[in-house]
């Protein structure tokens, strides 16, 4: 068991990075992830880690330098949020296409405009198809645990795909929680040594990285890349179990919270799951069969496993912390609903957008979702397939 | 410098089989760079920006590069090499390599003067050990000759065409050397493949410096500029002899002009053989050639005066 500490989510990420002690970090400050590179710089200044920190002039250069460093041969990490993540966009695709197992801490935040520095999932959901593994954390403990696991997942030879570990801006990143910090040496042993496959710095065997591929090759490259990403699913499960064996906290693809016989189910990811668990507990005490499906691995999307856990549900609400932006619903909603189409369940599935730009989501809002689900089951009618939580006025 | 017959025996960093246009100077310049590099002493690692040179030398499943080479995007050769060089420092420190490696970033004017300027500035400011080579072909040639900030005044490109009421690019060329120099880096120079010995001296000097260095090289483009493939080196020579492309160094802020033409040719000698300037020779456009000449003269005079001053950055007279 680790040492109990009371620190923020950003500090949790920073301690994970300190213990991983990557060879190179290239980073640029942006709220709310700035405290991560700050803490890392201080750890380096105090001799607690010996990473080369490249303090680049933009996030685009941050990811570019990470790509250069990873191709050169070694462990590479970075951290960002929101607009910084958006500025990396081009390079995110390139990092995954070049099969470089870079690990990035993303403190999820709203995208401009209007400018807003607070938490939501606009950044990571916008980047869901960049070919990165995406792990979403509920709290500081998970932000810490997931980063450590992400190194092992990304570097797995069957995967060789970059991974991001998200935590919610401010809700998690700036909130002090009690979590367990593991022993430095134990973490070091858990992640092991990394042997890069084709390091550029091995000048005796010169390798060309990033050649361009014409129509007669590009397709095969992209499908090989997809294979690596899909392979991550089993590796996430394997590493989650290994992590549990080593540190006592077991992880799977998702967390099924009181889901076995649940009839009213919320599907969500991130810090809102903590609030939802409290509400579920209260409902259960009153005999209401409520449950939560917390999505941990969003990319690759474990659609079969997630749909399987939802078979007892009579009505489902999916919470998206991002605007549907013209789609039928948020990304989590459309993927969950699509996953259910191949299963016997024909439970109604509704969608909520919540928490945009750091808007509070309180237990009463989650309770209202369960009340709606109950009403749907009782009346057999869905009044609104899409709605908002804690929005000023009525949606439509 | 080694004798020519010795240089000819040197292992090539860039080998034949690439897909550059006949008469293209990208490969000529790069081979001069490799010939200059003291590869008995150190190895070379290259990061390239997207562009003609990149697409023509790194087409899967082939490569023309005999040294470790990476390409990732258009605007980031400097930040990519930063990451590689940072990793090299780790390898050295942790004893993963005992090799001496020197780093080169290669881009053209689009990836340097324009979209890559921020990354270049950042990398120089951070002081990485690398030589940045800009092969300046005066426009976005890889996408088919669109204007860049390196396109000269009056130059015809597909996005600064001449027409009934327009005469080509209306603005003077950006002075990238002054921008680079503003970082007070140890070494920056301008070179031409026509003056290969000078170019090689500059490469050798730059690679021996443990810090950021910059080389701006004129890269005549047969298709974009409109001249026959056998004329590329001649065009480069004319650029030098007209002082359109002065050969000079900035060593710790001190300007050293490496070549002063005995007879400075009028710019028309440089402009005339190139189709991109043909419209300047139409009747009524004489004033444009005068303006071109004025800009070239002004820059040349300014350089001569700076050389005369002989001021080094951060060095007082007493020393």
User: Which residues of chain A make contact with B76, given a CB cutoff of 8 A?
Assistant: 60-61, 64, 91
Q: What is the mean pLDDT of chain B?
A: 96
Quick check: B91 and A74 CB within 8 A?
Answer: yes
* Residue B101: strand, helix, or coil: strand
Return the residue of B nearest to A205 by Cα.
B68
The alpha carbon of residue A208 is apart from the nearest alpha carbon of chain B, in Å, by: 5
- How many residues appear in chain A? 396
Going along chain B from its start, the domains and CATH numbers come out as 4-309 (3.40.50.970)
**Above 90 in pLDDT, residue B313?**
no
Q: What pLDDT shows up at residue B319?
A: 46
**Top-tier CATH class for A3-247:** alpha beta
The alpha carbon of residue A237 is apart from the nearest alpha carbon of chain B, in Å, by: 31
Contact B8, B51 (CB under 8 A): no
User: Which residues of chain B make contact with A76, given a CB cutoff of 8 A?
Assistant: 83, 87
Q: What pLDDT shows up at residue B316?
A: 55
Report pLDDT digits (tens) over B148-177. Answer: 999 999 999 999 999 999 999 999 999 999
The alpha carbon of residue B15 is apart from the nearest alpha carbon of chain A, in Å, by: 13
Q: Where in chain A is the domain with CATH 3.40.50.920?
A: 254-388
Q: Mean of the pLDDT values across residues B55-80?
A: 97
**Above 60 in pLDDT, residue B135?**
yes
Beta strands per DSSP E along A137-219: 163-168, 177-181, 208-209
Give dist(CA B280, CA B156) in Å, integer: 9
Return the residue of B nearest to A200 by Cα.
B68
Give dist(CA A112, CA B295) in Å, integer: 43
Return the residue of A nearest to B128 by Cα.
A54
Report pLDDT digits (tens) over B182-215. Answer: 999 999 999 999 999 999 999 999 999 999 999 9
Give dist(CA B10, CA A193) in Å, integer: 38
Give dist(CA B197, CA A19) in Å, integer: 51
User: Is the CB of B219 inside 8 Å of chain A's CB atoms?
Assistant: no
Give dist(CA A261, CA A311) in Å, integer: 9
Give dist(CA B169, CA B151) in Å, integer: 7
Report pLDDT digits (tens) over A215-272. Answer: 999 999 999 999 999 999 999 999 999 999 999 999 999 999 999 999 999 999 999 9
Tokens 């570990």 correspond to A165
Give dist(CA A253, CA A234) in Å, integer: 9
User: Is the CB of B267 inside 8 Å of chain A's CB atoms?
Assistant: no
The alpha carbon of residue A65 is apart from the nearest alpha carbon of chain B, in Å, by: 4
Beta strands per DSSP E along chain A: 3-7, 24-27, 52-55, 76-80, 103-108, 133-136, 163-168, 177-181, 208-209, 254-257, 264-268, 290-295, 297-299, 315-320, 349-353, 386-388
Helix residue spans in B173-257 (DSSP H): 176-181, 196-207, 232-241
Q: Where in chain A is the domain with CATH 3.40.50.970?
A: 3-247
**Which of B15, B37, B80 to probe the A interface (max A CBs under 10 A)?**
B80
**Which of B44, B49, B72 to probe the A interface (max A CBs under 10 A)?**
B72
Beta bridge partners of B47: B70, B105
HSE value, Cβ hemisphere, 13 Å, CA-based, for A343: 19
Confidence band (pLDDT; 50, 70, 90) for B8?
confident
Quick check: B70 and A209 CB within 8 A?
Answer: yes
Torsion angle (degrees, nearest 10) of CA A270, A271, A272, A276: 100
Confidence band (pLDDT; 50, 70, 90) for B4?
confident
CATH number assigned to the domain covering A254-388: 3.40.50.920
Give dist(CA A335, CA A134) in Å, integer: 15
* Residue A184: strand, helix, or coil: helix
Contact B237, B192 (CB under 8 A): yes
Per-residue pLDDT of chain A (396 residues; tens, 9 = 90+): 799 999 999 999 999 999 999 999 999 999 999 999 999 999 999 999 999 999 999 999 999 999 999 999 999 999 999 999 999 999 999 999 999 999 999 999 999 999 999 999 999 999 999 999 999 999 999 999 999 999 999 999 999 999 999 999 999 999 999 999 999 999 999 999 999 999 999 999 999 999 999 999 999 999 999 999 999 999 999 999 999 999 999 999 999 999 999 999 999 999 999 999 999 999 999 999 999 999 999 999 999 999 999 999 999 999 999 999 999 999 999 999 999 999 999 999 999 999 999 999 999 999 999 999 999 999 999 999 999 999 999 998
Q: Mean of the pLDDT values across residues B103-125?
A: 98
Contact A154, A98 (CB under 8 A): no
* Residue B316: strand, helix, or coil: coil
CA A338, A340, A345, A350 dihedral sign is negative
Quick check: A206 and B59 CB within 8 A?
Answer: no
User: Is the CB of B101 inside 8 Å of chain A's CB atoms?
Assistant: yes
The alpha carbon of residue A190 is apart from the nearest alpha carbon of chain B, in Å, by: 21
The complex's ipTM?
0.97
Return the residue of A nearest to B85 by Cα.
A69
**Above 60 in pLDDT, residue B318?**
no
């Amino acid at each position: 068991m680790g040492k109990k500490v009371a620190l923020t989510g950003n500090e949790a990420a920073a301690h994970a990075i300190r213990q991983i002690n990557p060879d190179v970090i290239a980073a640029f400050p942006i709220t709310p992830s700035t405290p991560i590179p700050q803490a890392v710089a201080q750890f380096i200044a105090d001799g607690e880690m010996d990473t080369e920190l490249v303090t680049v002039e933009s996030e685009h250069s941050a990811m570019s330098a990470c790509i250069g460093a990873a191709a050169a041969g070694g462990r590479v990490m970075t951290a960002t949020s929101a607009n910084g993540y958006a500025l990396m966009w081009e390079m995110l695709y390139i990092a995954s296409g070049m099969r470089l197992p870079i690990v990035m801490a993303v403190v999820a935040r709203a995208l401009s405009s209007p400018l807003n520095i607070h938490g939501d999932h606009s950044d990571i959901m916008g980047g869901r198809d960049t070919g990165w593994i995406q792990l979403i954390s509920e709290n500081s403990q998970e932000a810490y645990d997931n980063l450590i696991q992400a190194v092992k997942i990304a570097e797995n030879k069957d995967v060789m795909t970059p991974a991001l570990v998200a935590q919610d801006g401010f809700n998690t990143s700036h909130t002090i929680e009690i979590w367990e910090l593991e022993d430095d040496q134990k973490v070091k042993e858990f992640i092991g040594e990394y042997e890069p496959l084709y390091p550029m710095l091995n000048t005796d065997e010169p390798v060309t990285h990033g050649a361009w591929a014409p129509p007669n090759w590009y397709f095969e490259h992209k499908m090989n890349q997809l294979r690596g990403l899909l392979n991550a699913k089993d590796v996430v499960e394997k590493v989650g179990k290994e992590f549990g064996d080593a540190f006592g906290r077991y992880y799977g693809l998702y967390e099924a919270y009181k889901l076995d016989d649940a009839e009213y189910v919320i599907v969500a990811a991130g810090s809102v799951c903590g609030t939802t668990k409290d509400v579920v507990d209260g409902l259960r005490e009153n005999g209401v069969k409520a449950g939560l499906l917390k999505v941990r691995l969003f990319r690759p999307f474990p659609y079969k496993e997630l749909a399987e856990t939802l078979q007892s549900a009579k009505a489902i609400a999916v919470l998206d912390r991002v605007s549907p932006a013209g789609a039928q619903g948020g990304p989590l909603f459309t993927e969950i609903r699509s996953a259910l189409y191949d299963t016997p369940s024909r439970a109604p599935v509704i969608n909520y957008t919540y928490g945009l730009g750091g808007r509070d989501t309180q237990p009463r809002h989650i309770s209202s979702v369960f009340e709606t689900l109950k009403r749907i089951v009782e009346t057999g009618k869905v009044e609104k397939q899409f709605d908002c939580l804690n929005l000023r006025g009525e949606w439509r | 410098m080694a004798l020519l017959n010795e240089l000819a025996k040197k292992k090539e960093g860039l080998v034949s089989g690439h897909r550059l246009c006949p008469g293209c100077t990208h490969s000529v310049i790069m081979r001069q760079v490799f010939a200059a590099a003291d590869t008995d002493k150190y190895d070379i690692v290259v990061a390239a920006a997207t562009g003609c040179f990149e697409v023509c030398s790194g087409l899967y499943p082939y490569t023309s590069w005999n040294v470790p080479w990476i390409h990732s995007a258009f605007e980031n050769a400097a930040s990519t090499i930063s990451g590689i060089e940072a990793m090299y420092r780790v390898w050295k420190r942790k004893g993963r390599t005992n090799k001496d490696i020197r780093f080169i970033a290669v881009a053209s004017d689009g990836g340097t003067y324009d979209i890559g300027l921020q990354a270049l500035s950042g990398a120089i400011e951070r002081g990485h050990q690398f030589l940045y080579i800009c092969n300046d072909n005066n426009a976005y040639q890889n996408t088919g000759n669109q204007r860049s900030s390196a396109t000269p005044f009056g130059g015809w490109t597909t996005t600064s065409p001449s027409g009934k009421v327009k005469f080509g690019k209306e603005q003077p060329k950006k002075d990238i050397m002054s921008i680079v120099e503003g970082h007070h880096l140890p070494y920056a120079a301008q070179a031409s493949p026509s003056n290969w010995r000078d170019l090689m001296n500059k490469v050798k000097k730059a690679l021996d410096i443990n810090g950021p260095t910059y080389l701006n090289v004129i890269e005549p483009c047969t298709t974009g500029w409109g001249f026959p493939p056998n004329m590329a080196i001649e065009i480069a020579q004319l650029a030098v002899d007209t002082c359109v492309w002065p050969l000079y160094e900035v060593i710790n802020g001190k300007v050293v002009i490496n070549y002063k033409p005995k007879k400075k040719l009028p710019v028309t000698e440089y402009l005339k053989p190139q189709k991109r300037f043909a419209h300047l020779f139409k009747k009524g456009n004489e004033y444009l050639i005068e303006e071109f000449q004025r800009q070239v003269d002004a820059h040349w005079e300014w350089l001569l005066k700076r050389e005369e001053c002989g001021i080094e950055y951060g060095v007082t007279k007493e020393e």
